[in-house]
């Protein structure tokens, strides 16, 4: 390798997925941004080639014994990759981890705060694990550090307007004349015909809460020993104080509606023991500090000036400052990580790496601007630059022009998607990109156009006095029959208003999000859109055989792989390994089924067709209509049989759109639909949204993308800022009005 090549990661002849023998050099210790239309092959280079090779090399460092337990990462389909350093992938996968994983634990900030309390808290209480709800010493003994407790939902459990004979007790074990019911009635002294609302307080207390007592009772003339107990008391002992998961599924289902989760009354949700809660610093205990927004917490920590704790305070403020820098100042340390959005999750992971001391690492980011308002994008840029300046190589897949601008090097992948893409159409500087004439370059130069001929609404839907999370008693109307865009900085309350409040009031709305589609490993675009069913019929009538033969889970399917085309090899406690089926060679059907042809093609050959090719091949009206819908949402390049699990978020979203396109009079809700979309794809998305509206539907979109905002009929701008400084509607109106609205940050960026 020549000396100058040491300054580059060198990739030669990459052929993963749609890549057409791509060769390129990525400068080390610089920021390289990959852009291009969705489906062009960015992920195939960055994730399936570069990241995959790095993981494989890392695994090779382990001994044969350890490696036998690791999932086998196949060598990416490429001639060579040279000069690669360890890669860290910072993606948008949600941070799971259950109730014990919080923002504070995942960023390693909580341990430092605990240490600070153990040194500087008053009164002095002891070691830092005294302040940990994950530690038996620190956790609230009542709820075991969960902060929540299960309770009986009294409104559902008893109906006070009825008598015992009328079925006042609605709990599953208390059917009228059933065993438990009879015990209660016989044990008395209750009048089974008296409505519960007429009971005295003592009677009600006895009926519901009396402790277990052994009594002799007369059943069919026989004296029998039985235990009687208050109705709620018994239910609590039987189902709430024991782990429900150990009961049968049927019992769990029957009991679940009567159980609600509430805050633990001992620790008030703080999860900590009383000793931990009584220790304070600057007047606040650790639970109070953990529930403060980071922006406020950092100011309080600065006021702690105890000599012994100086280094701890320094490292704590440094990390908190990283959270502020990346635009997460509205989050709290006690926020459970599984409630964070994809964009928030990625930024939290980023903070973890900023505080670390690794150098010469290749960091790979997947659209880090997701969820960020244009106002906050410069903060993200500064963080990417910081990582680079520490001596790391930064590789980013990104569509946002404001991020692309800070790249040291840009790689534009295209020219189009799928088989029409997979090549590099431009490499070089930002200025050069603008002049390159590629789709990306051309779109970047185009000025923003405001929509002036906005549509008139057909009616309105109201949200009244919304107070969930940070919403400050919000009253707002959403016009129907038009395209409404809800915008505002991250944390201002957009998702809370639409995904939580609006959707719970309008449960019939159609939500088009980017979450994965398809539950079965056999799902593909053909099965998801219903095309497969029509194709099977066509094959059956052409060959005069049963259409069941052409189903992946019928006796026509390959027996070795059960129609999957791949075989999974289980590895005790790791992800299983997937290999192509040797019997059908991935074609999924038996030879005899493959012998049946439709216009000369077998079922496997049809499944290998792209939507574009299938449109030429089929004449059947229903099939053509469904294929056309896929083509309309820009998925011509997808093959009918591609497993849904390999589709990107943006592709999943569009396939959902394709199967909903023919509806009328519905409400559509989309959360950041431009994620993963190139500027030129956004035009296509807008066309689809406008088509939906023109067909009489209501479309509501949460979005930061200025191209989409500028084309709205109606804008609802949330703010003014994130968290407790947000939660208000700061503007409602049209695009041409918002640019003059003083109070709207979004308006300024649009202008």
**Rounded Cα–Cα distance for residues 668 and 662 (Å):** 12
Pick one of 138, 269, 374, 493: the residue that binds ligand ADP (CB under 6 A): 493
Q: Which residue lies nearer to Zn ion by CB, 20 or 265? A: 265
Options 117, 133, 199, 330; binder of ligand ADP; rule CB under 6 A = 330
Sole residue written with tokens 């409400």: 667
Q: Does 319 bind ligand ADP (CB under 6 A)?
A: no
Inter-residue contact 271 to 131 (CB < 8 Å): no
Window contacting ligand ADP (CB under 6 A); options: 115-123, 164-172, 492-500, 738-746: 492-500
Question: Is residue 560 near Zn ion by the rule CB under 5 A?
Answer: yes
Our CB check for Zn ion shows the closer of 108 and 288 to be: 288
Question: Looking at 495, 631, 697, 746, which residue binds ligand ADP (CB under 6 A)?
Answer: 495
Give CA–CA dist 580/557, Å, rounded: 15
76 preceded by cis ω (within 30°)? no
Residue 631 in the binding site for ligand ADP (CB under 6 A):
no
Nearer to ligand ADP, 135 or 513 (CB): 513
Interface residue with ligand ADP, options 43, 105, 527, 705 (CB under 6 A): 43
CB of 276 to Zn ion, least distance (A): 11
Which string of DSSP letters, residue by residue, matches 40-76? SSHHHHIIIIIIHHHHHHHHHTS-HHHHTTSPP-PPP
Shortest Å distance, C-beta 244 to ligand ADP: 23
Contact between 41 and ligand ADP per CB under 6 A: yes
Task: Work out the burial of residue 200: count CB atoms within 10 Å of its CB; fewer than 13 is exposed, 13-18 middle, 19 or more buried.
Answer: exposed
Binding of residue 492 to ligand ADP (CB under 6 A): yes
Q: Which among 726, 29, 596 has a CA at the least distance from the CA of 360?
A: 29
Q: Is 440 near ligand ADP (CB under 6 A)?
A: no
> How many residues contact ligand ADP, by CB under 6 A?
34
CB of 702 to ligand ADP, least distance (A): 7
Q: Are 271 and 164 in contact (CB under 8 A)?
A: no
Instruction: Using the rule CB under 5 A, give the single segment among 152-160, 514-522, 579-587, 735-743 that binds Zn ion.
Output: 579-587
Task: State yes or no: residue 132 binds ligand ADP (CB under 6 A).
Answer: no
First CA to last CA across the chain, in angstroms? 51
Omega cis (within 30) before 352: no
CA 89 to chain centre: 17
Cβ distance to ligand ADP smaller for residue 164 or 348: 348
Q: Does 140 bind Zn ion (CB under 5 A)?
A: yes
Three-state secondary structure of 113-148:
HHHHHHHHCECCCCCHHHHCCCCCCCECCCCCCCCE
Q: Which of 639, 203, 232, 214 is nearest to 418 (CA)?
A: 639
Buried b (16+ CB within 10 A) or exposed e, 443-459: bbeeeeebbeebbebee
Q: Dihedral through CA 58, CA 60, CA 62, CA 65, nearest 10?
A: 140
Q: How far is the CB of 539 from Zn ion (least distance, A)?
A: 19
Nearer to ligand ADP, 325 or 329 (CB): 329
Using CB under 5 A, which of 143, 255, 406, 593 touches Zn ion? Answer: 143
Segment near Zn ion (CB under 5 A), from 141-149, 297-305, 421-429, 440-448?
141-149
Task: Calculate the alpha carbon distances from 55 to 7, 62, 171, 354 in Å.
Answer: 21, 12, 53, 21
Only one of the segments 88-96, 248-256, 403-411, 635-643 lies at the binding site for ligand ADP (rule: CB under 6 A); that segment is 635-643
Beta-strand pair 667-671/728-733: unpaired
Residues whose CB falls within 8 Å of the CB of residue 529, separated by 6 or more in sequence, listed in order: 626, 629, 630, 655, 658, 659
Q: Does 18 bind ligand ADP (CB under 6 A)?
A: yes
Question: Which residue lies nearer to ligand ADP by CB, 15 or 170?
Answer: 15
Is 17 a residue that touches ligand ADP (CB under 6 A)?
A: yes
Report the residue from 648, 690, 734, 737 that binds ligand ADP according to the rule CB under 6 A.
648
Interaction of residue 269 with ligand ADP, rule CB under 6 A: no
Of 3-11, 436-444, 494-502, 658-666, which part binds ligand ADP (CB under 6 A)? Answer: 494-502
Q: Given the rule CB under 6 A, which of 69-77, 200-208, 483-491, 525-533 is the region that contacts ligand ADP?
A: 483-491
CB of 268 to Zn ion, least distance (A): 8
CB atoms within 10 A of CB 87: 22
Joined together, the tokens standing for residue 267 give 């620790």
Nearer to Zn ion, 265 or 646 (CB): 265
Binding site for Zn ion (CB under 5 A): 140, 142-143, 264, 266-267, 558, 560-561, 581, 583-584
Binding site for ligand ADP (CB under 6 A): 17-18, 36, 38-44, 330-331, 335, 339, 413, 417-418, 469-470, 488, 490-496, 637-638, 642, 646, 648, 718, 723
């Amino acid at each position: 390798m020549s000396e100058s090549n040491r300054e580059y990661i060198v990739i030669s002849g990459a052929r993963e997925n749609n890549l057409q023998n791509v060769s390129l050099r990525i400068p080390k210790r610089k920021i390289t941004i990959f852009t291009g239309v969705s489906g062009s092959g960015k992920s195939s280079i960055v994730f399936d080639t570069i990241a995959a090779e790095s993981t494989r090399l890392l695994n090779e460092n382990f001994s044969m014994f350890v490696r036998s337990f690791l999932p086998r990462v196949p060598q990416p389909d490429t001639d060579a990759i040279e000069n690669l350093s360890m890669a860290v992938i910072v993606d948008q996968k949600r941070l799971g981890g259950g109730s014990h994983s919080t923002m504070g634990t995942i960023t390693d900030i909580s341990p430092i705060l605990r240490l600070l309390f153990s040194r500087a808290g008053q009164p002095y209480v002891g070691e830092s694990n005294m302040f940990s709800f994950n530690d038996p010493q620190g956790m609230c003994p009542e709820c075991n550090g969960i902060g929540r407790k299960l309770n009986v939902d009294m409104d559902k459990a008893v109906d006070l307007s009825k008598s015992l004979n009328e079925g006042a007790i609605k709990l599953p074990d208390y059917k009228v004349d059933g065993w438990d019911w009879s015990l209660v009635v016989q044990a008395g002294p209750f009048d089974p015909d008296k409505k519960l609302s007429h009971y005295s307080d003592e009677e009600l207390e006895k009926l519901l809460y009396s402790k277990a007592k052994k009594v002799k009772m007369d059943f069919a003339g026989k004296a029998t020993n039985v235990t009687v107990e208050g109705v709620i008391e018994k239910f609590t002992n039987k189902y709430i104080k024991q782990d429900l998961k150990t009961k049968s599924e049927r019992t769990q289902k029957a009991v679940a509606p009567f159980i609600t989760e509430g805050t633990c009354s001992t620790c008030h949700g703080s999860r900590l023991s009383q000793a931990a809660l009584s220790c304070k610093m600057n007047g606040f205990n650790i639970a109070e500090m953990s529930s403060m927004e980071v922006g406020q917490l950092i100011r309080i920590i600065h006021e702690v000036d105890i000599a012994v704790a100086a280094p701890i305070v320094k490292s704590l403020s440094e990390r908190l400052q990283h959270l502020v820098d990346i635009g997460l100042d509205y989050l709290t340390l006690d926020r459970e990580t599984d409630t964070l959005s994809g964009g928030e999750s990625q930024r939290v992971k980023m903070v973890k790496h900023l505080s670390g001391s690794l150098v010469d690492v290749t960091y790979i980011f997947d659209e880090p601007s997701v969820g960020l308002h244009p106002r906050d994008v410069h903060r993200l840029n500064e963080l990417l630059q910081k990582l680079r300046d520490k001596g790391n190589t930064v590789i980013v897949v990104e569509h946002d022009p404001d991020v692309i601008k800070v790249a040291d090097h840009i790689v534009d992948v295209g020219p189009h998607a799928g088989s029409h893409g997979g090549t590099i159409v431009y490499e070089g500087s930002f200025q050069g990109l603008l002049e390159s004439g590629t789709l990306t370059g051309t779109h970047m130069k185009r000025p923003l156009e405001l929509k002036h001929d906005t549509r008139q609404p057909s009616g309105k839907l109201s949200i009244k006095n919304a107070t969930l999370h940070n919403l400050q008693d919000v009253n707002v109307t959403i016009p129907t029959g038009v395209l409404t865009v809800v915008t505002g900085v991250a944390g201002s309350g957009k998702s809370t208003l639409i995904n939580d409040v609006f959707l719970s009031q309008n449960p019939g709305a159609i939500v088009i999000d980017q979450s994965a589609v398809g539950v079965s490993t056999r799902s593909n675009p053909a099965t998801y859109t219903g095309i497969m069913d029509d194709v099977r019929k066509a094959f059956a009538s052409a060959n005069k055989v049963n259409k069941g033969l052409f189903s992946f889970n019928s006796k026509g399917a390959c027996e070795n792989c059960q129609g999957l085309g791949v075989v999974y090899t289980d590895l005790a406690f790791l992800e299983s390994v997937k290999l192509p089926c040797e019997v059908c060679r991935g074609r999924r059907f038996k030879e005899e089924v493959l012998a049946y042809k439709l216009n000369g093609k077998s079922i496997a050959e049809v499944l290998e067709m792209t939507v574009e090719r299938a449109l030429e091949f089929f004449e059947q009206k229903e099939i053509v209509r469904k294929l056309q819908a896929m083509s309309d949402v820009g998925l011509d390049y997808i093959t009918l049989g591609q497993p849904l699990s390999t589709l990107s978020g943006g592709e999943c979203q569009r396939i959902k759109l394709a199967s909903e396109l023919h509806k009328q009079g519905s409400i559509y809700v989309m959360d950041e639909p431009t994620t993963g979309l190139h500027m030129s794809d956004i035009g296509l998305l807008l066309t689809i949204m406008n088509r939906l509206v023109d067909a009489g539907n209501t479309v509501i979109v949460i979005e930061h993308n200025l191209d989409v905002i500028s084309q709205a009929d109606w804008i609802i701008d949330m703010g003014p800022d994130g968290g407790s400084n947000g939660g208000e509607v700061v503007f409602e109106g049209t695009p041409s009005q918002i640019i003059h609205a003083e109070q709207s940050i979004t308006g300024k960026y649009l202008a």
